[in-house]
């Protein structure tokens, strides 16, 4: 599985998710979003990155007993949802 996946289709097919990712990059920084993508999408680790828009999803669903999908706002096919791991506090902060 050394073949690198081409994700160039994502902004066109999932524009809402692409926008949410840009927003999260501004809020949390590129390094955190990149780490979440790497761990949740590339390495398929639970609890790092999950996004859905319409019938498409990317990442690995969260396996957290505290995460309750039913408390999320009503989701329709025209909305996008992005869930990233919360950044860890910096040491000494």
Residue 11's pLDDT band (cuts 50, 70, 90): very high
pLDDT band for position 1 (50/70/90)? very low
Q: The domain containing residue 80 runs over which residues?
A: 10-84
Residue among 3, 1, 18, 5 nearest 56 (CA): 18
Residue 60 lies in a domain: yes
Instruction: Say whether pLDDT at 3 is over 90.
Output: no
Torsion of CA 44, 69, 23, 91, to 10 degrees: -70
Assess if residue 5 is contained within a domain. Answer: no
The bridge status of strand 56-59 relative to strand 80-84 is: unpaired
In this structure, is residue 90 part of a structural domain?
Answer: no
Q: Does residue 92 form part of some domain?
A: no
If one counts the domains in the chain, the total is 1
- Which DSSP string corresponds to 28-62? H-HHHHHHHHIIIIIS--TTSEEEEETTEEEE---
């Amino acid at each position: 599985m050394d073949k690198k996946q081409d994700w160039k289709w994502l902004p066109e097919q999932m524009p809402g998710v692409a926008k949410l990712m840009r927003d999260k990059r501004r809020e949390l920084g590129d390094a955190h979003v990149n780490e979440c993508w790497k761990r949740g999408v590339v390495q398929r680790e639970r609890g790092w990155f999950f996004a859905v828009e319409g019938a498409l999803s990317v990442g690995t669903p969260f396996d957290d007993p505290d995460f309750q999908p039913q408390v999320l706002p009503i989701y329709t096919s025209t909305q996008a949802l992005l869930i990233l791991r919360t950044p860890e506090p910096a040491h000494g902060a």
